[in-house]
């Protein structure tokens, strides 16, 4: 399926007008497709799998900002730490510690988002509010100088039912606003990563600053997702 350039240009215009960042989710898509959007001006791309990202990144221009949006295993952080722009999917203090360790090795301060559990339809990755509190308490005890928590990420239930999704987005927006007050050397909330191809407009109504869009730009994914 070819890249939908018209959809890209229209979406980009719409998001620019609202000050929302577009992350083009290129998982399972070839390097050639990414380059097509790159040549139209796109710089933020999102990937879900460490191996795939580590394979693709060296083949592509170095000014691409790579967003890691999939579930991240601790033992794989080292492969992306030297170059990743933002990790959206931190869901455990132990993972944050590993990101900190790898960031310090490469002399970086790595920006991350905390992935929150907001879906009610099915189980997805993410922190509950209690787990969030525990993570922040851990961070207060053991300050990590190699990471900066820049906000939150969430995935709504996989459904077309807008009335199911609204309260999930509202819940995350409320939590984001409450915890944004908490500023420390490690924590400075500016980014709310919420919304995909099917629900990004609704997500923006609930305060999303960054949407992660794949199929609308690259067509449906035929490969089975891991």
Q: Please select the residue that binds ligand PLP; options are 34, 64, 69, 149, rule is CB under 6 A.
A: 69
CA distance 210 to 65: 13
C-beta closer to ligand PLP: residue 25 or 77: 25
Spell out, one character per residue from 147 to 176, where the chain touches ligand PLP: x when CB under 6 A holds, - when not. --------x---------------------
At its nearest, how many Å lie between ligand PLP and the CB of residue 213? 5
CA distance 226 to 215: 16
Q: Is residue 90 part of the contact set for ligand PLP (CB under 6 A)?
A: no
Q: Please select the residue that binds ligand PLP; options are 26, 42, 48, 100, rule is CB under 6 A.
A: 48
Q: Please select the residue that binds ligand PLP; options are 120, 157, 159, 197, rule is CB under 6 A.
A: 197
Spell out, one character per residue from 200 to 219, where the chain touches ligand PLP: x when CB under 6 A holds, - when not. ------------xxxxx---
At its nearest, how many Å lie between ligand PLP and the CB of residue 184? 27
Size of the site for ligand PLP (CB under 6 A): 14
Instruction: Report the interface residues with ligand PLP, using CB under 6 A.
Output: 25, 27, 48, 69-70, 155, 196-198, 212-216
């Amino acid at each position: 399926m070819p890249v939908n350039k018209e959809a890209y240009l229209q979406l980009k215009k719409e998001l620019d007008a609202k000050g929302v960042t577009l992350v083009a989710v290129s998982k399972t898509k070839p390097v050639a497709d990414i380059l097509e959007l790159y040549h139209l001006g796109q710089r933020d791309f999102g990937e879900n799998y460490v191996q795939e990202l580590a394979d693709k990144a060296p083949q592509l221009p170095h000014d691409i900002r790579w967003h890691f949006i999939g579930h991240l295993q601790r033992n794989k952080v080292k492969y992306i730490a030297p170059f990743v722009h933002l990790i959206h999917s931190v869901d455990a203090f132990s993972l944050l510690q590993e990101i900190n360790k790898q960031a310090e090795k490469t002399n970086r301060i790595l920006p991350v988002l905390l992935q929150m559990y907001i879906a009610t339809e099915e189980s997805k990755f993410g922190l509950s509010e209690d787990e969030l509190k525990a993570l922040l308490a851990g961070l207060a005890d053991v300050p990590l100088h190699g990471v900066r928590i820049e906000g939150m990420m969430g995935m709504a239930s996989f459904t077309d039912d807008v009335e199911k999704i609204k309260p999930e987005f509202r819940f995350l927006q409320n939590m984001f606003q409450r915890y944004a007050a908490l500023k420390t050397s490690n924590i400075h909330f500016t980014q709310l990563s919420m919304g995909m191809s099917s629900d990004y407009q609704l997500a923006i109504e609930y305060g999303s600053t960054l949407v992660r869009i794949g199929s609308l730009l690259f067509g449906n994914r035929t490969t089975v997702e891991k």
